[in-house]
Amino acid sequence: MVMRKVGKYEVGRTIGEGTFAKVKFAQNTETGESVAMKVLDRQTVLKHKMVEQIKREISIMKLVRHPNVVRLHEVLASRCKIYIILEFVTGGELFDKIVHQGRLNENDSRKYFQQLMDGVDYCHSKGVSHRDLKPENLLLDSLDNLKISDFGLSALPQQVREDGLLHTTCGTPNYVAPEVLNDKGYDGAVADIWSCGVILFVLMAGFLPFDEADLNTLYSKIREADFTCPPWFSSGAKTLITNILDPNPLTRIRMKGIRDDEWFKKNYVPVRMYDDEDINLDDVEAAFDDSKEQFVKEQREVKDVGPSLMNAFELISLSQGLNLSALFDRRQDHVKRQTRFTSKKPARDIINRMETAAKSMGFGVGTRNYKMRLEAASECRISQHLAVAIEVYEVAPSLFMIEVRKAAGDTLEYHKFYKSFCTRLKDIIWTTAVDKDEVKTLTPSVVKNK
């Protein structure tokens, strides 16, 4: 069991991870507020020459303080780590909701689109282009409000060249604007609007407007705006989407035109803005300064006595509001990249059974204490090198929660893995039988490119 504290934050379980960072659940011990702590290794950042990119991402998130954007609280640093303290958003990704439900109804789609445009419009007013807008980067809070996240590819006005355009080709293929593909420069704000149009289409259709396995064919369809709206789209939605997915950036509808659109304005609730606050970037520079007086105090206590004990605050953070049923019903959790089940078996037995199950599925297994990492073996036919992280937590005497999350690879493949994995473990799972609907077979195209 590891007890860890960084400055005023008590650090808990890992809630996400990527190539260069892990995201931990943490609690501000002074205020009791829950936060998400993004942890980066200093040496890795330096080795991959990512300092300026990370500084830019942090600066942008400080700059765009808006109710529909994930808030950055502060940046801390130690001798070995950079800690980015973010708003803890409990409702999961909009992506998961689409995979779970399929297409959303028109009113729900419009609500999310209105909130998306509010957040994007504010970013653009600050000179920030997101450049990677997609449902995977849109989170939902406990009140079902949308929050834009992941500004890693975002651009500031300083990145615009003499011609007034951006030139870096980036983004996710299915959501990227045609002018970005043409390699002749593009207006970041206008390209963002195209991505928002693709998102609106996906919300209402349950599948992508442009989706081809071959990239050349995909790019050709994007450049020609070769798509068809499903028959259940209303005429107002069709018109707006067609005006947004205009392949010519010069004639594409702008933000004002979207806001003036009759379909968009229906049931629109103006966002309540935050109070103005001075933006201070001193801690951004300090985080990358090697002076020891800037370093945050770290405390770490390791006791190898069993799995980490999950406290009540962390338990509640796993659920929607105070509805704790989500903790013990996998059916409510079946579409997330972070899934969980419970068991009354001894912790060591749970680990042994999971190792056996993973190896039988062709995964390489690494185990340390009560944490595991599964890597798809080279001969295993799993796309994008699926990797899975697992940790066992004690939530009560003789009751353990096993948290499983995708560390790398394709999300649809992860869903398939989780269903198969749980089937192999059904004799140790303390809950209902594996739900037959656990992995929805909604059009796979929705979950590509993740």
What are the residue numbers of the active site?
A: 132
The end-to-end CA distance of the chain, in Å, is 32
| DSSP letters spanning 6-71 | ETTEEEEEEEEE-SSEEEEEEEETTT--EEEEEEEEHHHHHHTT-HHHHHHHHHHHHH---TTBPP
What is the Rg, in whole angstroms, of the alpha carbon atoms belonging to the chain? 22
The gap from C-alpha 442 to its chain's centroid, in whole angstroms, comes to: 20
Q: How far apart are CA 268 and CA 261, in angstroms?
A: 11
Q: Are 365 and 353 in contact (CB under 8 A)?
A: no
Residues 245/198, Cβ–Cβ less than 8 Å: yes
Residue 166: DSSP 8-state: B
The answer to whether the CB of 69 falls within 8 A of the CB of 113 is no
**Residues 48 and 32: beta-carbon distance below 8 Å:** no
**Coil/strand/helix, residue 346:** coil
User: Token pair for residue 251?
Assistant: 């004639």
Rounded to the nearest 5 degrees, what angle is found at the Cα of 287, between the Cα atoms of 188 and 32?
95
Q: Which amino acid is it at 412?
A: L
Give the DSSP letter string of 264-330: HHTT-----PPPP-----HHHHHHT---GGGPPPEEEEE--SSSEEPPHHHHHHTSBTTBTHHHH-G
- Tell which residue, 3, 152, 9, 6, has the closest CA to residue 77: 6
Q: Is the dihedral of CA 129, 57, 176, 117 positive or negative?
A: negative
Residue 47 labelled as part of a binding site = yes
Sequence ranges of the binding site for ATP: 47
Sequence ranges of the binding site: 47
